[in-house]
């Protein structure tokens, strides 16, 4: 337990330039308190003391504004920056040294039984206001942009942005739009814009054709005169 506490404090100090001391983290940081309470609640949850586990997690929620279900599985070094409004669901799994910002939701979809929340690999960063919904994995070292809504798996070393989220970088290299999968998660706005662009192109071609016809008619008229 003490080794995990030290690891949690060290991870916060390494990632938050506002920290001045370990005591400040231990006594004043809501994210540290929330994770510490989670670990206690998770201990009871694994031993099927569900009421006590939820009681601990709900008390922590009232104090910190961070809701972590005691059934979640969290590795070492989790840092929840600011933390207010963060929700971590029951079957969520979080790897080592992950970072979550305020208002992040790691949630499920529907009322399915079993694994219904996301799995985060190691060193994953989820930006403020992002929603990761469903029983899929966010690969190691990946980043989810602020306010993104992720509904499908994200491979390792990727950056995902938008609503619904699309992968825009992989291994530090920007991805061409042609490589983005728009079949499984259609974007109605993009589809409408594409339809308008196609329609505009057709109109432009018709206008050019009419201009040529008018030019030919004017040329023949001048010759007759």
* pLDDT confidence of residue 188: 56
* pLDDT confidence of residue 185: 45
* pLDDT confidence of residue 104: 96
Q: Which DSSP string do the residues of 87-105 spell out, in sequence order? A: EE-TT-EE-TT-EE-TT-E
* pLDDT confidence of residue 46: 96
- For residue 193 the two structure tokens come to 């814009």
- For residue 7 the two structure tokens come to 């690891």
* pLDDT confidence of residue 111: 67
How long, in residues, is the chain?
225
* pLDDT confidence of residue 17: 86
The parts of the chain modelled with pLDDT lower than 50 are: 177-185
Q: Using the Cα atoms of residue 159, residue 111, residue 102 and residue 141 in order, give the sign of their dihedral.
A: negative
* pLDDT confidence of residue 179: 45
C-beta separation of 25 from 32 below 8 A: yes
Q: Tell me the angle at which helices 30-46 and 50-64 cross, rounded to the nearest 10 degrees.
A: 170
């Amino acid at each position: 337990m003490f080794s995990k506490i030290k690891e949690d404090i060290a991870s916060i100090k390494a990632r938050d330039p506002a920290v001045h001391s370990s005591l400040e983290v231990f006594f004043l940081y809501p994210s540290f308190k929330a994770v510490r309470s989670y670990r206690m609640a998770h201990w009871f949850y694994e031993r099927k003391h569900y009421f006590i586990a939820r009681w601990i997690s709900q008390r922590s929620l009232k104090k910190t504004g961070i809701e972590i279900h005691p059934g979640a599985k969290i590795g070492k070094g989790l840092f929840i920056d600011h933390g207010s409004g963060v929700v971590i669901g029951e079957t969520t799994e979080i790897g080592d040294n992950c970072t979550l910002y305020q208002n992040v939701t790691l949630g499920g979809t529907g009322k399915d039984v079993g694994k219904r929340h996301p799995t985060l690999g190691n060193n994953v960063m989820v930006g403020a206001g992002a929603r990761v919904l469903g029983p899929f994995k966010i690969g190691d070292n990946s980043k989810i942009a602020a306010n993104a809504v992720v509904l499908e798996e994200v491979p390792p070393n990727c950056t995902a942005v938008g609503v619904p989220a699309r992968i825009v970088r992989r291994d530090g290299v920007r991805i061409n739009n042609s490589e983005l999968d728009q079949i499984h998660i259609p974007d109605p706005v993009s589809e409408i814009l594409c339809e308008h662009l196609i329609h505009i192109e057709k109109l432009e071609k018709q206008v050019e054709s009419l201009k040529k016809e008018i030019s030919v008619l004017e040329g023949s008229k001048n010759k007759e005169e």
